[in-house]
Amino acid sequence: MVMKNTCIAGCLALMMSIAAFQAVSASPHVPIQGVKHDVKDIRQDRRDIRHDRKDIAQDKAQLHRDIRQGRYRAAARQAHDIAQDKKDVRNDRKDLHHDRQDLKQDVKP
């Protein structure tokens, strides 16, 4: 499910980038640097989200191992790491949303 959503999000970001660059070439008053910056930010946010989700999966696996082996302090640390990674994903998703809004504003005629 995550892979499908990531693929869809990637396709949407690519289409937005193409549309943005087409709009830039069609109207000379669109700031090219702003569009490039927004596209770069979108890529970075998506990369950060993928990285955080990978960390969450690894931390969850370690959490389950720690619980099975009775290492409850280690499990508590893993639970804390998972919560922090989830918070990072939420923040990155907010950033991604704002970057997409900025991109739309940059290419608006």
How confident is the prediction along the chain (109 residues), in pLDDT tens digits per residue? 455 566 676 666 666 666 666 655 555 555 677 788 888 888 999 999 999 999 999 999 999 999 999 999 999 999 999 999 999 999 999 999 998 888 888 777 6
pLDDT value at position 107?
79
Q: pTM of the predicted model, to two decimals?
A: 0.65
pLDDT value at position 84?
95
pLDDT value at position 11?
61
Residue 34 has phi, psi (to 5 degrees) of -65, -40
Which range of residues forms the domain containing residue 48?
Answer: 2-107
Residue identified by tokens 């280690």 is 74
CA 76 to chain centre: 26
Contact 96, 42 (CB under 8 A): yes
For the chain, how many structural domains are there in total? 1
Question: 22-32 burial, b for 16+ CB within 10 Å, e for fewer?
Answer: eebeeeeebee
Contact 35, 20 (CB under 8 A): yes
Q: Compute how many other C-beta atoms are within 10 angstroms of the C-beta atom of residue 102.
A: 16
